[in-house]
Amino acid sequence: MADRERTDPRIERSRAVILDAAVQELAEVGYGGVTIEAVAARAGVGKSTIYRLWRDKLDLIADAFETFHERMVPELGDLSAREAIELLLRHVAEVVVDSTFSRCIPALIEGAERDRRVRDFFHAYSAERRQAVVDLIIRGIDDREFAAEIDPALATETLLGTIFYRRLMTGEPFSPTRAGELVDLVLGPRPLTAPA
């Protein structure tokens, strides 16, 4: 999409409505059921408006996921690695407990099983999200918050895997209030401060 088009307020308003409609549609009917026609009808725009901004439905859904991620991800500021990981895990658990976005996850898993392009997008999107946690664990190891023996990639998969397993495979989502407990379990408890 051209930079000129993205700065036009009317196009930005249409874009926001269409992205929201795409996520709603994906959550309700699954990837295979999403059509440009249905998204256009839900957004109250013509199909031609969508095709001017996105090539196809995967391009539209990929943009929606990236856009909503940018809007929702918490600001980490100057938190320690442990604090930042706890905040991210709480955020992920809150989103996964009950949101339109969380209902899109099974839809994309189903789409990835059937369509190589969806699989490539979903795996790349997930890898980028995981890498943020991997980088925080590496920083925590460098800062001696975490043990040097920890495998950052495996620890990240364990942390996030717990949350997504509970969402997809059980009737009880992982409670956001237990994020600190999960970090302690996987990365080791906070060191006890010596009494003054």
- Chosen domain end from 44, 65, 86: 65
- Chosen domain end from 34, 65, 96: 65
pTM here is 0.82
**Other beta carbons less than 10 A from residue 142's beta carbon:** 11
In a domain? residue 71: no
Tell me, what's the pLDDT at 192?
58
With contact defined as beta carbons under 8 Å apart, do 18 and 45 qualify?
yes
Find the domain containing 106 and state its range: 76-187
**Cα 174 from chain centroid (whole Å):** 16
Say yes or no: 171 and 109 in one domain: yes
Task: Tell me how far apart the alpha carbons of residues 116 and 124 are, in angstroms, rounded to a whole number.
Answer: 12
CATH number at residue 18: 1.10.10.60
In a domain? residue 118: yes
Say yes or no: 173 and 153 in one domain: yes
Tell me, what's the pLDDT at 2?
43
The predicted-structure confidence for 99-115, as pLDDT tens digits, reads as follows: 787 788 888 888 999 99
Say yes or no: 80 and 61 in one domain: no
Say yes or no: 84 and 140 in one domain: yes
Between the two ends of the chain, the Cα-to-Cα distance in Å is 59
Tell me, what's the pLDDT at 194?
40
Q: Could you give the percent of the chain with pLDDT greater than 90?
A: 68
Task: Tell me how far apart the alpha carbons of residues 81 and 182 are, in angstroms, rounded to a whole number.
Answer: 14
Say yes or no: 54 and 96 in one domain: no
The residue type at 145: E
Say yes or no: 42 and 111 in one domain: no
In a domain? residue 180: yes
Say yes or no: 134 and 165 in one domain: yes
Say yes or no: 42 and 117 in one domain: no
- Find the radius of gyration of the CA atoms of the chain: 19
User: Average pLDDT of the chain?
Assistant: 89
Say yes or no: 48 and 141 in one domain: no
In a domain? residue 196: no
Say yes or no: 47 and 123 in one domain: no
Say yes or no: 61 and 144 in one domain: no
Say yes or no: 58 and 98 in one domain: no
Task: Tell me how far apart the alpha carbons of residues 137 and 156 are, in angstroms, rounded to a whole number.
Answer: 8
Q: How many domains does the chain have?
A: 2
Which has the higher per-residue pLDDT, 70 or 85? 85
List, in order, residues 6 or more apart from 188 with CB less than 8 Å away. Answer: 146, 147, 150
The predicted-structure confidence for 145-178, as pLDDT tens digits, reads as follows: 999 999 999 999 999 999 999 988 888 889 999 9
**CA-CA distances (angstroms) from residue 137 to 28, 127, 155, 168, 180?**
36, 15, 8, 25, 14
